[in-house]
Amino acid sequence: MSPLQKTPRTVPPEVLLDNRARRAWVILELQLRGHTLADVARAAGVNRQTLYQTFHRSYPRMEACIARAVGLRPEQLFPERYWHDGTTLARKRQRHPATVPAPPSKPRKR
């Protein structure tokens, strides 16, 4: 186990319903292990703000770093972002408004 890992725990179900509660739980777990999110960010080689954004947006690589630091798998900590087999859900691609064809203004008469 890495120095950031200790005994694996389970996430209380009510924590998974709210991003703020989940982030607070992760921070508490890290504090119990003597670490911070900044330590996890340094270990991953990213800015700590990147990890904070992970609680609001899907970022599989950072989800894995955070989950590993608290002794879980990403699909346990972020179940709404993963299929049951552990693969990530495909993100919906949104087209840029300029590339979406405009609807016809008037129907053509023949």
The string of pLDDT tens digits covering residues 49-64 is 988 888 888 889 999 9
Is the distance from CB of 65 to CB of 44 less than 8 angstroms? Answer: yes
Instruction: Give the angle subtended at the CA of 49 by the CAs of 78 and 81, to the nearest 5°.
Output: 15
Residue range 8-49, pLDDT digits in tens: 567 777 777 888 888 999 999 999 999 999 999 999 999 989
Please tell me the distance from the alpha carbon of residue 58 to that of residue 82, in angstroms, as a whole number: 10
More confident residue, 26 or 84: 26
Three-state DSSP class for residue 76: helix
Task: Give the pTM.
Answer: 0.69
Q: What number is the average pLDDT over the span 80-86?
A: 82
